[in-house]
Amino acid sequence: MATKTWEIVNMERDLEDGYVKLVSYVVSSKEGSNTYTYGDVVFLPKPSTLAAYNTLTEEVVIGWVKARLNELNSENTIHRSVAEIEAIVDSGLAKTITPTTAKGTPW
């Protein structure tokens, strides 16, 4: 069974108030030694109340990213929903484990 992992790889914030405006994330699906990864960046709107930057945890920010992706997806933007992203990594992993195409030349 594949294990999905969400990870925050970078964040951009305003130094004045700590507002995290851009988050780079990676979602991986892994089974045994096979891994398939999907990564993107999402803009977070400025909330009315900011959490102190030094108190943020990866879990909290992943929650923000997932909520924002689902919100953007429901607004018919180009962003994928959490379920779609997780399906992409599962499908990619399946193709890695059992490929249906190959590259190369016969000589």
10: tokens are 């970078």
* 8 Å CB contact between 23 and 41: yes
- 10 falls within a domain: yes
- 59 falls within a domain: yes
For the chain, how many structural domains are there in total? Answer: 1
- 41 falls within a domain: yes
- Closest to 69 (Cα-Cα) out of 55, 53, 85: 85
Token pair 């943020």 is found at 56
* 8 Å CB contact between 11 and 70: no
Rounded Cα gap, residues 70 and 83, in angstroms: 9
pLDDT tens-digit profile of 21-64? Answer: 999 999 999 999 999 999 999 999 999 999 999 999 999 999 99
- Closest to 82 (Cα-Cα) out of 22, 6, 2, 20: 6
pLDDT tens-digit profile of 59-99? Answer: 999 999 999 999 988 887 777 889 999 999 999 999 999 98
